[in-house]
Amino acid sequence: MISQNPLDYVSYKDLIELGLTPDEILTAHQPSKGGVYHTRGAESKGKSLWIAHFYRNAIDFGIEFEHAVGNMEFKGKYSNGYEVLKGDDIRQFLWDMTHKPYRNSLAIIDEIDSEFPARMFPDKEQTEIALRLWHTAKLGNYILSSSHIGNSTDIIIHLATHYFIYPYVLDFKTQTLKFDVVNSLDGEISEGWIAEDIVKTMLIYSRQELTENTDEETNKPRPVKKSKKRQRDYDTFETDLDLEAELNGLC
């Protein structure tokens, strides 16, 4: 593989000639390490499993994240240094990640369509977080998310995704998970990727854990649709108040 690091192609003499200090060299162009990964597919195709396997491999390979958070819950050694965040807490972390900004950090948003749904209304915070995801890779951050097939996720987050992952065959006999990759950066589709030793990964996370903030959901009141008659009565009541105010010279 051809290196994309410019420091591999210059000599110490070149650096002196350019007049660069050690600190300036550290902040020079570097290959992007992170990225936004989005697993998609129907129910029980291995979307969350692929995310858990990515995280497991990162830890096993000795990658140390400055921050590692998400709405999935991990077990064993994979819970060390990892913080479970849901609802407003995960949104706050993404805001901080994209504004402070954080470096060499990881955020997992399983079922991202429940946190950042497609919408027909403006949401300034959601829009600004989504727009700043373009900086994820060059800061060495990773965002791993999942959603179901369809237009269920914020379009800006969808467009900011670097790699779409489509898992489709989980084979217990070979302990593998097959998946395809759509590289949005290069406009390439590569098929037949295989994640190995996948069965052990099934043991390190809580698949039945709800990704939403359960405290918020437990106390959320059920929305009640007003009947047409009640709505008409309410509208009439408002009109009567307006008329009364006008007659009393209050308008």
Tell me the average pLDDT across 146-173.
Answer: 84
CB of 146 within 8 A of CB of 179? no
Instruction: For 226, list phi and psi in degrees, rounded to 5.
Output: -70, 140
- The answer on pLDDT for 108 being more than 80 is yes
- The answer on pLDDT for 77 being more than 90 is yes
Q: What is the pLDDT of residues 183-238, one digit of tens each?
A: 987 889 999 999 999 999 999 998 765 555 555 555 556 555 555 555 555 444 44
State the pLDDT at residue 234. Answer: 45
Domains, the chain, ordered by start: 1-31 (no CATH), 33-218 (3.40.50.300)
Q: In what order do the strands lie in the sheet with 83-84?
A: 83-84, 67-70, 105-109, 142-148, 35-41, 163-171, 176-183, 188-196
Question: How many Å apart are CA 200 and CA 251, to the nearest integer?
Answer: 71
pTM above the 0.95 mark?
Answer: no
Residue 241 banded pLDDT, cuts 50, 70, 90: very low
